[in-house]
Amino acid sequence: MGVHAASAAQKPNLVVFLVDDLGWQDVSQPFWTERTAQNATFHTPNLERLCDEGARFTQAYAHCVCTPSRIGILTGEHPARTGVTNWTLRKDTPTDAPHATLTPPNWNCNGLQPEQGVDRSYSAPTLPQRLAKQGYETIHVGKAHFGAAGTRGAEPLQLGFTKNVAGHAAGAPASYLAKDGFARSGSDPIWNVPGLDAWHGKDSFLTDVLTQEAIALVSRAIDERKPFFLHLAHYAVHTPIQRDEARIARYLAMGLDPKEAAYAALVEGIDDSLGALVEFLRARGALDNTVIVFASDNGGLSAHARGGTPHTHNAPLRSGKGSAYEGGVRTPFAIRWPSVAAPGSVIDAPCAIEDVFPTLCNAGGADASCNYGQDLAPLLAGEKRDRDLFWHYPHSWGATGPGISMTSSIRSGDWKLVWFWDRAECELYDLSKDLGEQRDLAAAQPETARALRNKLRAFLLESRAMLPVRKDGIAIAMP
C-alpha cells in the first residue's frame, strides 16, 4: 500500500464523479496551458472551484468509447486484457458496425461479469468489492454500462456495490425528463432508465434526480458513521441532447445553435450536481475527509448529434468520441484530496482512466493490485513518471470521421503512434509540437516509428489482445 493508505481509525470517503461523453474543453475550466474559445462557451464554476481546491490533470486519457473506460475504473485493467474493447448492450450480441475489409475479433461483448474475472482467465475483486471488505458503503448512482442486458454484470449489485440507483445495461437514457418516466414513446425499452418510478410524472430533469438520490444515500451512510464510496456516474452529456429548460436560456442568449445550447445546458447541469454534492458534504462536515475524482469516460462527441460542423467540437484536438486521435481519448480530469493534492496544482504527466482504481484502493486501505492502472498519489506529491499509455479498439464504431477506425495506439513521451489495422500502416505525431495531430512524421522519423511499433506489438501480445481478421483470409499485419 502507498504511504497515503487509510488508517483503521478514519478511512476517507471516496467519490468518483463520472460524466458521460464530456470533451476535454466542454467546461469553463481549462485543462490545458491556456483558456480556449470552447472553454468560454461553458459555465462550470463548481468544477473551477474543485480544481482551485485540488489538482487538475492536463494530459488525462480514457478510451474512445464508454464501457472499456468504465470497466477500467472498476478493475484497473486495460481493455486489451479484459476483452471488453467496445460498448456493450445485449447478451452475446456484439455492437460492431460492418467493416468493408475486416471482421472484428470475438471480443467479450457481455462485459464485466462477477464469475468471469477481469482477465478472461482469473478472478479479481472489483473496486467496490475491495472497498466493501474495508467497511465501505459502496453506492452506485446513474449510468452503469458494465455488462450486457441478460447477464449478471448488468446489475451493479452483482459487481460489489451495496446500493444501486438507475444503473443497468444501457449506456444512454431514453429521456432525461421525469414527466416522460425517463422513457421515450416508440423507442426500444432497453434504454428506459430504471428504478426511478417515484419521480415519474414530475417536472424534474434526470441529472438533478440522480444528484438528489446520491445525496440521500450518502447522508444515510454519514448518519450510520460508515465510510462511503460513491460512484456517481451521470447519463449526461450523452445523447439524446434534450433541452434542460431550467438552464438553457443563458446559452440561447449567447446566440448558440439550439442543439449546442441544449448541450451546454446539460454540461451546466452536471456542474450544478457537482456543486450540490460538495456543498452537502461541507455542510455535513465530511468534505475534508473525502477524495473526489472528476472524470469523463471518453472524448467529446463530435461525429454526429451536435450542432455545427462535425469533428470540430474538440479543436484544437482532432476528431472526437470513437476516434484514436486526441479528441477521442483526451479528457478533463481533476482530484480534490485534502492534504494530498495541493490546492491549485497542475499535473502535466499523462495518466489513464484505469489509474482511478489503484489510487482509490490505496486511499481506502484496500488491495490495489492490478496490471495497468497506477496510483496517482505520487504524482500529486510531485513525483515524475516515465510511462507509456496504450489503446486498443479493433472495432468499427459506426460513425465515420478522422481516426474513427479499427486502431491500436501508443503514447510514449511526447510521441503518439496510431496503427490502422485495415491498411496496416501507422501514423506518428509529436504532441509537444502538434497537439492537433496534423503532421504525420512516420516517414520522416522511421526509427521512432519502428520503436513505438515494437512497443505496441509487445503490449498487445503480452495482454493477449484479440485482433481483427482480414476477410480475404490473409493474416493480419501486426504493428
Asked whether the beta carbons of 414 and 431 are under 8 A apart, the reply is: yes
Amino acid making up residue 286:
A
Give the per-residue pLDDT at 3.
Answer: 40
End-to-end CA distance of the chain: 36
Predicted confidence (pLDDT) per residue in 79-91, tens digit: 999 999 999 999 9
Range name among 119-123, 142-146, 385-389 with the lowest pLDDT average: 119-123
Please give the helix or strand (H or E) that residue 336 lies within, else none. strand 330-336
Give the per-residue pLDDT at 115.
Answer: 77
User: Is residue 379 located within the same domain as residue 447?
Assistant: no
Give the per-residue pLDDT at 273.
Answer: 99
Can you tell me the distance from the alpha carbon of 366 to that of 10, in angstroms, rounded to the nearest whole number? 14
Asked whether the beta carbons of 156 and 96 are under 8 A apart, the reply is: no
Predicted confidence (pLDDT) per residue in 41-75, tens digit: 999 999 999 999 999 999 999 999 999 999 999 99
Span 378-388, mean pLDDT? 95
User: Is residue 207 located within the same domain as residue 119?
Assistant: yes
Query: Is pLDDT of 282 > 70?
Result: yes
Give the per-residue pLDDT at 129.
Answer: 97
Looking from the CA of 443 toward its CB, the CA atoms found within 13 Å total 2
Q: Which ranges of 348-427 would DSSP assign to H, the alpha helix?
A: 356-363, 377-380
Span 148-160, mean pLDDT? 97
Inside any domain, residue 477? no
User: Is residue 339 located within the same domain as residue 403?
Assistant: no
Give the per-residue pLDDT at 160.
Answer: 96
* End-of-domain residue from the set 351, 385, 419: 385
Inside any domain, residue 74? yes
Inside any domain, residue 47? yes
DSSP type of residue 329:
H
Predicted confidence (pLDDT) per residue in 299-310, tens digit: 999 999 999 999
Range name among 5-9, 66-70, 180-184 with the lowest pLDDT average: 5-9
User: Is residue 360 located within the same domain as residue 411?
Assistant: no
Give the per-residue pLDDT at 124.
Answer: 78
Give the per-residue pLDDT at 410.
Answer: 99
Give the per-residue pLDDT at 93.
Answer: 98
Query: Is pLDDT of 7 > 70?
Result: no
122 band by pLDDT with thresholds 50, 70 and 90: low
Span 219-244, mean pLDDT? 98
User: Is residue 216 located within the same domain as residue 280?
Assistant: yes
Give the per-residue pLDDT at 5.
Answer: 45
Inside any domain, residue 171? yes
Query: Is pLDDT of 123 > 80?
Result: no
Write the burial class of residue 75 (CB in 10 Å: 0-12 exposed, 13-18 middle, 19+ buried): buried
Range name among 110-124, 179-193, 256-270, 293-307 with the lowest pLDDT average: 110-124
3-state secondary structure of 56: strand
Residue 367: give the domain boundaries.
13-385
Say which residue the cell 492536463 belongs to. 58
Span 393-403, mean pLDDT? 97
Give the per-residue pLDDT at 1.
Answer: 39
User: Is residue 304 located within the same domain as residue 413?
Assistant: no
269 band by pLDDT with thresholds 50, 70 and 90: very high
Query: Is pLDDT of 26 > 70?
Result: yes
User: Is residue 38 located within the same domain as residue 70?
Assistant: yes
Looking at the structure of the chain, the number of domains it has is 2
Asked whether the beta carbons of 155 and 112 are under 8 A apart, the reply is: no
Question: Would you say the pTM of this structure is higher than 0.95?
Answer: yes
Burial 433-457 (b: 16+ CB within 10 A, else e): ebbbbeebbbeebeebbeebbebbb
Can you tell me the distance from the alpha carbon of 81 to that of 77, in angstroms, rounded to the nearest whole number? 7
CATH of the domain at 137: 3.40.720.10
Query: Is pLDDT of 191 > 70?
Result: yes
Span 396-411, mean pLDDT? 97
Inside any domain, residue 17? yes
Span 240-261, mean pLDDT? 97
Give the per-residue pLDDT at 2.
Answer: 42
* End-of-domain residue from the set 356, 385, 414: 385
Predicted confidence (pLDDT) per residue in 343-377, tens digit: 999 999 999 999 999 999 999 999 999 999 999 99
* End-of-domain residue from the set 385, 404, 428: 385
Give the per-residue pLDDT at 233.
Answer: 98
CATH of the domain at 438: 3.30.1120.10
Inside any domain, residue 478? no
Burial 266-287 (b: 16+ CB within 10 A, else e): bbbbbbbbbbbbbebbeeeebb
Query: Is pLDDT of 6 > 60?
Result: no
Span 12-35, mean pLDDT? 97
Give the per-residue pLDDT at 186.
Answer: 87
Inside any domain, residue 160? yes
User: Is residue 312 located within the same domain as residue 437?
Assistant: no
User: Is residue 323 located within the same domain as residue 441?
Assistant: no
Looking from the CA of 447 toward its CB, the CA atoms found within 13 Å total 0
Say which residue the cell 496510431 belongs to. 418
Give the per-residue pLDDT at 120.
Answer: 66
User: Is residue 330 located within the same domain as residue 448?
Assistant: no
Q: Which ranges of 86-201 would DSSP assign to H, the alpha helix?
A: 127-132
User: Is residue 66 located within the same domain as residue 118?
Assistant: yes
Inside any domain, residue 7? no
Say which residue the cell 470475438 belongs to. 106
User: Is residue 406 located within the same domain as residue 296?
Assistant: no
